[in-house]
Amino acid sequence: MEILEKELQKEEIWKDLEKLKKIQQERNRLFEIVEPIERIINRFSYIEEGLAIAETEEEGHLLLKDLETEIENIKSQIEQIEVRFLLSGEHDKSNAIVSIHPGAGGTESQDWAEILMRMYLRWAEKKGFKVEIVDLQLGEEAGIKDVTFTVEGQYAYGYLKSEAGVHRLVRISPFDANKRRHTSFAAVSVLPEIEDDIHVEIKEEDIRIDTFRASGAGGQHVNKVSSAVRIVHIPTGIVVTCQTERSQHRNKEIAMKILRSKIYNLLQKEKEEKIKSIAGEKKEIAWGNQIRSYILHPYKLIKDHRTDIEVYNVEDVLDGNIDIFIEKYLKKFASIS
């Protein structure tokens, strides 16, 4: 840290913007590691002083209760640091692009997709992350046919990457007059938002841009002008739609950003497949289509099939408290991912 600070004080470094940016990024990365550890060390000093006082004071037992609380707080902070250290992937610090697609089953699955969307929006809100809904297609009766939203915040992708996969719901359907039990599925896709300094070539002749009038709960203005944008990447068949902004220009800008991320992700997967074929890898690198089950009937239980974590307070989880699943996933698969 001290070496980097000295480098930043040199006048010549400010003439080389690329080198300056790299040094600043490295300083910030080290600060994120050192600062919380120093904060915990200071709390330990407070506890040592408190114990010394408690031994000499007549009502020292009262102070001991406060110190016990402080120790629990430190334990929680250490666990958070441990999880943060696991977020060392190339794009873990990036913003996230999340898409939710209901499976077969019509209204029942579309309602389940909307429940998942609310769960992630509540989680992001509690984390202090900024969410922007890019594309939202409502179901005819209830729920959603499709949704894509961005989550902006430090390590958003690193946390949410654990949520990618198929989520299964078992419940008594509120849409079934005979009150029968239904099983629904929804797929969650999570991509990192690719930074501008990562080159992803998109040729102008390889894309088709269509504009149309937006639909859904976007305000009356969306039906009056063709502000929505759909971009088709012809070589890959990737389609990206953005219709939530008033400005066609802004919708196009967001759609292009998501297209870059999807193409980059596709190229990375192709590279991984090539390496596997060269190495003779036969096994599929996946945790299975169904990553988590949410059972609301005949009993209440949420189970993650990758980590075997079980939670019985389903209402709490569906209200956005999913950190237990994220943390256990990171601890188990960090060395693999």
- At 286-295, the pLDDT tens digits run 334 789 999 9
Reported pTM: 0.73
DSSP result, 218-267 = S-GGGGTS--EEEEEETTTTEEEEE-SSS-HHHHHHHHHHHHHHHHHHHH
Residues in contact with 48: Cβ distance below 8 Å, sequence separation at least 6, in sequence order: none
pLDDT of residue 197: 64
3-state class (DSSP) for residue 76: helix
Select, from the ranges 16-30, 185-199, 236-250, 304-318, the one with the highest average predicted confidence (pLDDT): 304-318
- At 167-213, the pLDDT tens digits run 999 999 898 888 888 899 999 999 999 876 677 888 999 999 998 88
Interatomic CA distance for residues 163 and 304, integer angstroms: 10
**Mean pLDDT across the stretch 83-95?**
84
**Mean pLDDT across the stretch 243-264?**
88
pLDDT of residue 274: 61
pLDDT of residue 9: 73
- At 141-156, the pLDDT tens digits run 899 999 999 999 989 9
